[in-house]
């Protein structure tokens, strides 16, 4: 698969540490919700770094939409969040991956579970569902440190047919009934249970994904129905 | 960087004629069969190592260089799209 030339056309702040980045990429075609791209950045001295980023939306050909959170000790994300400007160029390979994918023709219940910026490919699924006018029942459990750390909060909460439950690990907003804390067995009460046989998509940092998958297995979900995507970071 | 088998899609896109991340792979060490997307993947500037999630032995390694991509798949008994 060839590397395509990409140019940054828009940058929008998502949180204090994350930006939505839109790239114009002639030749980029047919992405599915949940897929990712590889980005290749080349420094002035020729040094290259490649990283994978999930697509935040798959609406348009020739366009790549990302949402990138800064990993403080990372090599690439601080550049993308703090330095990158409209007009900058990089290279893109994709769309990639057929495993962590939701297709609009699927009518079965879908359970989405996101930790932090792991919401990005799941938001792409919510957007694809809306665009296709799908009636597949969606539920989303989104774990974030605080309200200020949430990506796309207003849009997700307002998505008709998508039942969103918030899990705040550090600082819940005033009046939020659930106390601060990591995803726990009780949080599965708002998710589709094993008897409803949902397709389950879990995305987040490795520790979050492992913990969420273990909770789901303990609750009786079939391992083959749980699809996971982990991203690095410390 | 600790990732998973989803990250193999790009590096292996020019090697196999199908999407390897959805392919079933049998670990040559312990015999477990799983989709490659479920593997443990460690990426560094040197290359990528994919390990069996059950026994953690090496399934395959990938090194991408300007003159081409090298894959060693000694840890796979077989791979089926």
pLDDT of residue A234: 35
What is the rounded average pLDDT for all residues in chain B?
95
Cβ contacts of A29 within 8 Å, gap of 6 or more: A61, A62, A95
* Token pair for A231: 């991203």
Mutation target to probe the A interface, by most A beta carbons within 10 A, among B3, B4, B6, B69 is B6
Distance from CA of A6 to the nearest CA of B (A): 16
Domain A110-231's class?
Answer: alpha beta
How far apart are the CA of B6 and the nearest CA of chain A, in angstroms? 6
pLDDT under 70: residue ranges of chain A: 232-234
Long-range CB pairs of B14-21 (<8 Å, 24+ gap) are: B14/A1, B14/B69, B15/B69, B15/B71, B16/B79, B18/B81, B19/A97, B19/A98, B19/A99, B19/B81, B20/B79, B21/A97, B21/A98, B21/A99
Q: Taking CB atoms and an 8 Å cutoff, what residues of chain A touch B9?
A: 36, 96-98
Contacts of B35 in chain A (CB under 8 A): 99
Residue of B7, B10, B38 with shortest CB distance to A94? B10
Domain ranges of chain A: 4-96, 110-231
C-alpha–C-alpha distance, residues A39 and A51, integer Å: 5
**What's the pLDDT score for residue B45?**
85
User: Residues of A with CB below 8 A from B23's CB?
Assistant: none
A10-67 pLDDT per residue, tens: 999 999 999 999 999 999 999 999 999 999 999 999 989 999 999 999 999 999 999 9
pLDDT at position A1 is 82
Percent of chain B at pLDDT > 70 equals: 100
As a CATH number, domain A4-96 is 2.40.30.10
Q: Which of A52, A203, A214 to mutate to test the interface with B (most CBs of B within 10 A)?
A: A52
**Confidence (pLDDT) at B30:** 98
Q: What is the pTM of this model?
A: 0.96
pLDDT of res. B66: 83
A60 touches chain B (CB under 8 A): no
- The DSSP element (H or E) to which A121 belongs, if any, is helix A119-131
Per CB-CB distance under 8 Å, the chain A contacts of B45 are 49
A209 within 8 A of A119, measured Cβ to Cβ: no
Chain A residue at shortest CA distance from B2: A232
Contacts made by residues A206-215, CB under 8 angstroms, sequence distance 24+: A206/A230, A206/A231, A206/A232, A206/A233, A206/B2, A206/B3, A208/A115, A208/A116, A208/A118, A208/A143, A208/A183, A209/A115, A209/A118, A211/A182, A211/A183, A212/A113, A212/A115, A212/A183, A215/A183, A215/A184, A215/A185, A215/A187, A215/A188
Interface predicted TM-score of the whole assembly (ipTM), two decimals: 0.94
Identify whether the C-beta of residue A70 lies closer than 8 Å to the C-beta of residue A77. Answer: yes
Average pLDDT, chain A: 96
pLDDT at A74: 87
User: A100 — contact with chain B (CB < 8 Å)?
Assistant: yes
The verdict on a CB contact (< 8 Å) between A99 and B64 is no
Q: Mind listing the pLDDT tens digit for each residue in B36-65? A: 999 999 999 889 999 999 999 999 999 998
| B64 interaction partners in chain A (CB closer than 8 Å) | 50
């Amino acid at each position: 698969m060839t590397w395509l030339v990409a140019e940054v056309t828009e940058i929008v702040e998502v949180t204090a540490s994350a930006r939505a980045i839109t790239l114009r990429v002639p030749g980029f075609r047919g992405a599915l919700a949940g897929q990712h791209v590889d980005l290749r950045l080349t420094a002035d001295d020729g040094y290259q770094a490649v990283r994978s980023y999930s697509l935040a939306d798959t609406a348009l050909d020739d366009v790549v939409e990302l949402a990138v959170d800064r990993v403080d000790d990372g090599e690439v994300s601080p550049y993308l969040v703090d330095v990158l400007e409209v007009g900058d160029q990089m290279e893109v390979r994709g769309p990639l991956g057929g495993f962590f994918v939701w297709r609009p023709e699927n009518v079965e219940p879908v359970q989405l579970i996101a930790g932090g910026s792991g919401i990005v490919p799941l938001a792409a699924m919510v957007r694809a569902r809306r665009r296709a006018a799908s009636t597949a029942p969606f539920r989303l459990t989104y774990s974030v440190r605080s309200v200020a750390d949430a990506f796309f909060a207003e849009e997700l909460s307002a998505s008709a047919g998508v039942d969103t439950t918030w899990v705040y690990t550090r600082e819940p907003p005033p009046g939020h009934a659930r106390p601060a804390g990591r995803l726990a067995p009780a949080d599965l009460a708002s998710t589709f249970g094993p008897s409803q046989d949902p397709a389950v998509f879990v995305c987040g940092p490795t520790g979050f994904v492992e913990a969420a998958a273990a909770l789901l297995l303990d609750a009786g979900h079939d391992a083959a129905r749980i699809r996971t995507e982990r991203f690095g970071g410390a | 960087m600790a990732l998973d088998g989803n990250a193999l899609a790009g590096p292996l896109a020019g090697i196999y004629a199908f999407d390897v991340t959805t392919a079933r792979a049998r670990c040559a060490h312990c015999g477990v069969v799983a989709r490659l997307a479920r593997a443990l993947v460690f990426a560094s500037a040197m290359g990528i190592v994919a390990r069996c999630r059950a026994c953690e032995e090496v399934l395959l390694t990938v090194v991408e260089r300007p003159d081409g991509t090298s894959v060693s798949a000694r840890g796979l008994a077989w791979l089926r799209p």
